[in-house]
Structure 1
């Protein structure tokens, strides 16, 4: 629960009460990149569990979300570059002390022109607008979180300067993560099953701005299904 007045450029949040009754759940079980079928199938499993609890399902195709999803991935890379460039300039970081990938992203940010940064801010607003259109017909979107198992250390090497490749690798692994980050729409991820070696199969849910209560309600309902548990008791938690 979050309360209080924001003392900044944005209005204070006005969170709704926990919604009662049936909600409209959009179900996205595809992406534009290759994905492990189990990590798409778990989305459908979670959606059916919510349907059994009285919620209404509506299939969502990739075409309905492709424009804001692709735009958010591109904007995320530019925001990371601009932020790193500003931070390193403010603190006087020696670029010779950082790894090649970080240096390449910083140089990308320093090369951005003011009109490019202004366009980036406008792009973020357009991403939110396009996503709002989808949510005119649903209360929450349930979708894939990852396209494959968690990757071993070193799978995203930073010893090169091909920053477009680096960000594309991240997008291919978590194709909708940047969408929530860039749009300002709240999102939650939780496990709903296990793969063949016991690792959790996650689902991601995204709700409209200010609808954190919707996410917490639906996440609690999915957690009550107890589809995945830690193999070993976690200190301080119930076994």
Structure 2
């Protein structure tokens, strides 16, 4: 297999070749290692790539497929984690696997490196002071998004076909949009947050992957979804494998189209609106009923509650880590906005958290009622196709906690809603700018209904194929 052939293969195709013996695991490992080295100018890998893949099952559905893990939340036994922050120095070796990491190993994924994240994941770009900015392979002056920007850059550059990612306010879908990938945020509880968490980020956080094709996302969800003992949620299994949905064709749906941000304010780039309108016409052509509609939400209350969720989680994380490491959480180890948000979160009371939860409850119920009339909601993924490096500067001391929150979500006002409601949502690279940058379009489905979401995504992928688009740095 040549490097060019490797770069063209998604995880599903590569797994089939490995399973049939047409290529060996060692050959694929060497090709991936070379591709990761070639992608070094993107600055997406944290530390050195591993000398050998982490242990993994030889008989999993993705046995031998190269993989990378985001340096945040999920962890692997013996592998250091730094969470994009100087607070943890070069990284603290982890004593064990998280449940999802165990499932990635069981799926056969061959983990080769850690990928960069913004400090403690609280940004829509990936430019931590600790390791420097990650560059978007479509335009290296632009951001790959965040907080899973390191993983996104490597998948877009064809260094690996699939990568771990996590999402608390859009951190899978935002980099998917910026880098031209498929980014699915599963339903709350579809993948296990254990054993470290029950409801990370007040239930808004969830982990999964980034990939280039819908079938890879579906196959990965088949491989890793499910309940672990002690998990708070027990979702029913899908009626058939998610991978089967991708090629089956979607039933006729009632589609709501919304191009007004749900949170964060900010204007929407006309190119993002145009991509949604084009996708809506495609869906009409496929037989779906499409109309402009949106759930009725109190955006101001939503933003205030979301700020409480984010800053309280950040404060708890900073204080817990600082105490464990014997480090004072000051400006020498934390970026300015991180410090401001942690200080804000530290002052919140229990009643503040309960007040935020009341808003989240009202939001979930409003969206659930809306889904009685509409099967899916079609929106831009981001307010803009991407952002220039330096625009979302987490070390900007001029912004207080609310100013930092508003700055982030003014670029991504469509993604946080499904984190609060727990609904599954997917970003698909359905648009293109005059510069050649990808533009993401988001589809959100009712809670627990990844099956419909993936069936519709498969139809859109066939109707508006993107596999032939490759970034200049890929």
Q: If the length of structure 1 is used for normalisation, what is the TM-score?
A: 0.87
The alpha-carbon distance between structure 1 residues 100 and 29, as it changes in their structure 2 partners (threshold 3 A), is closer
Structure 2: how far apart are the matches of 1:22 and 1:4?
Answer: 28
Match of 2:435 in 1: 197
Q: Which residue of structure 2 lines up, in the alignment, with residue 26 of structure 1?
A: 256
Between the aligned partners of 1:227 and 1:38, the Cα distance in structure 2 is 18
Taking the aligned partners of 1:77 and 1:50, their CA distance within structure 2 comes to 35
Determine helix, strand or coil for the equivalent of 2:420.
helix
**Which of 35, 45, 51 matches 2:268?**
35
Rounded Cα–Cα distance in structure 2 between residues aligned with 1:174 and 1:149: 10
* Residue in structure 1 matched with residue 285 of structure 2 by the alignment: 52
Please report how far the alpha carbon of residue 118 of structure 1 lies from its aligned counterpart in structure 2 after TM superposition. 1.9
1:11 alignment partner in structure 2: 233
Which is worse superposed, 118-127 or 166-175? 118-127
Measure, in 1, the Cα distance between the counterparts of 2:460 and 2:452.
12
The answer to whether residue 350 in structure 2 is matched with residue 114 in structure 1 is yes
Whether the 8 Å CA contact 2:255–2:375 is kept in 1: the answer is yes
C-alpha distance after superposition, 1:51-76 (max 9, x if no partner): 21121112215xx3442x54443322
User: Do 1:146 and 1:202's aligned partners in 2 also have CA atoms closer than 8 Å?
Assistant: yes
The alignment's C-alpha RMSD in Å is 2.3
Alignment partner of 1:152 out of 388, 411, 417: 388
Which of 95, 104, 126 is equivalent to 2:329? 95
Cα distance change of structure 1 residues 70 and 227 upon mapping to structure 2, 3 Å threshold: farther
Compute the displacement of 1:11 (Å): 3.5
Q: SS state of the match for residue 464, structure 2?
A: coil
Change in Cα spacing, 1:227 to 1:71, as seen in structure 2 (3 Å) is farther
CA–CA distance in structure 2, aligned partners of residues 153 and 234 of structure 1: 16
Q: Is the 8 A contact 2:308 2:352 kept in 1?
A: no
Q: How far apart in 2 are the matches of 1:6 and 1:48?
A: 41
Residues 105 and 149 (structure 1), Cα distance of their counterparts in 2 relative to 1, 3 Å cut: same
5+ residue gaps, structure 1, are: none
8 Å contact kept, 1:144–1:202: yes
TM-score normalised by L of structure 2: 0.46
Contact preservation (8 Å) 1:193, 1:227 = no
Contact map agreement 1:72 1:178 (CA 8 A) in 2: no
Q: Distance in 2 between matches of 1:38 and 1:232?
A: 19
Residue correspondences, number: 232
Asked whether the equivalents of residues 424 and 446 of structure 2 are also in contact (C-alpha less than 8 Å), the reply is yes
**1:135 aligns to what?**
371
Query: 1:70/1:51 Cα in 2 relative to 1: closer, same or farther (>3 Å)?
Result: farther
CA spacing shift, 1:37–1:3, aligned 2, 3 Å: closer
* Contact 1:29–1:41 (CA under 8 A) maintained in structure 2: no
Quick check: which one's helix share is greater?
A: 1
- The yes-or-no answer on 1:170 pairing with 2:379 is no
Q: Is the 8 A contact 2:319 2:329 kept in 1?
A: no
Distance 1:88 1:36, change over 3 A: closer
Deviation at 1:150, TM superposition (A): 0.8
Task: Give the one of 81, 89, 93 matched to 2:311.
Answer: 81
Q: Is the 8 A contact 1:188 1:205 kept in 2?
A: yes
- Give the Cα separation in 1 of the matches to 2:256 and 2:385: 24
Alpha-carbon separation, structure 1, partners of 2:312 and 2:444: 26
- Counterpart Cα distance in 2 of 1:118 and 1:15: 31
Aligned to 1:224, what secondary structure does the other structure show? Answer: helix
